[in-house]
């Protein structure tokens, strides 16, 4: 900055044709950081014994939710080969002109998988929300 009073029309006119000063962004604080740092969040970051316990509990909840849904898949889809092995008569059954095993293997698994995924998404997000509420309360 020069000593001349800034903002006089003449000074501006002169500055225009030459290269304008490069605009710099001045960052006083990282905008990504939360606006109010909560004490509990700090505690989580600092790994106090309370925080460790809470986090461990949360991880466990998420884990068992996932395991439960995985068990649904294992007990349904995973059992199908055994069912077909021990009950070969199923192939004789036909539903709307298609053999039952083909329906059970070609169509049914896909809505089942998507449904479970959808359900898990709802559950996991709800548990995350509850955890955040608990931390921020």
Partner 1 sequence: MELNLWAVACILLVCLATFTIGFRSSRLASTTQDFLTARRTVRSRRNAAAVSGEYLSAASFLGVAGLVLKDGADALWYPIGFTAGYLALMLFVAAPLRRSGAYSLPDFAEARLGSRQLRGLSTVFVVFIGMLYLVPQLQGAGLTLSQIVPGVPLWAGAVLVAALVVVNVLGGGMRAITVVQAFQYWLKLFAIAAPTFVLCALFLGEGGVDGIGGTGLSQPMAPRFTTETTVEVATDVVLQVREGLPLWVEGDGVVDGSRARGSVYWGPGEHTVGAGARLRFAEGAPVPVVSGAPADNATWLRPVSGVGDLLTTYSLIFATFLGTMGLPHVLNRFYTNPDGRAARRTTLHVLMLLSLFYLFPVVLGALSRIYTPELLVTGTTDAAVLLLPGKIAPGVLGQVLGAVTAAGAFAAFLSASSGLVVSVAGVLSTAGGGRGRVRDFRWATVIAGVVPLALALLFPTGDVSLSVGLSFALAASTFCPVLLLGIWWPRITWVGAATGMCVGGGLVLLSLLISIISGLTGDWAPEFLLQPALVTVPIAFLTVYLLSKATSGKVPQETNRIRMRMHAPDRLGFIRDRDIARFGTAEERSKLANGRHRR
Establish if 70 lies at the interface with partner 1 (CB under 8 A). yes
49-76 vs 109-136: helix axis angle to the nearest 10? 170
Angle between helices 109-136 and 39-46 (to 10 degrees): 110
Nearer to partner 1, 6 or 88 (CB): 88
123 in Cβ contact with 67 (< 8 Å): no
Does residue 73 belong to the site contacting partner 1 (CB under 8 A)? yes
120 binds partner 1 (CB under 8 A): yes
The residue (of 17 and 128) whose beta carbon lies closer to partner 1 is 128
Spatial separation of the C-alpha atoms in residues 77 and 55, rounded to whole Å: 33
Do the beta carbons of residue 72 and residue 120 sit within 8 Å?
no
101 binds partner 1 (CB under 8 A): yes
Q: Least separation, in Å, of the C-beta of 10 and partner 1? A: 32
Contact mark string toward partner 1, 23..52, x via CB under 8 A: --x------xxx------x--xx-x---xx
Q: Does 71 bind partner 1 (CB under 8 A)?
A: no
């Amino acid at each position: 900055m020069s000593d001349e009073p800034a903002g006089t029309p003449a000074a501006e006119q002169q500055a225009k044709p030459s290269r304008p000063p490069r605009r710099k962004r001045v960052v006083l604080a990282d905008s990504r950081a939360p606006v109010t740092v909560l004490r509990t969040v700090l505690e989580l970051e600092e790994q106090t014994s309370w925080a460790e316990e809470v986090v461990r509990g949360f991880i466990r909840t998420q884990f068992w939710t996932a395991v439960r849904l995985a068990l649904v898949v294992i007990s349904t889809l995973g059992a199908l080969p055994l069912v077909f092995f021990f009950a070969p008569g199923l192939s004789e059954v036909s539903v709307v002109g298609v053999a039952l095993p083909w329906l059970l293997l070609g169509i049914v698994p896909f809505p089942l998988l998507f449904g479970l995924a959808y359900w898990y998404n709802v559950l996991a997000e709800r548990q995350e929300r509850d955890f955040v509420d608990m931390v921020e309360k």
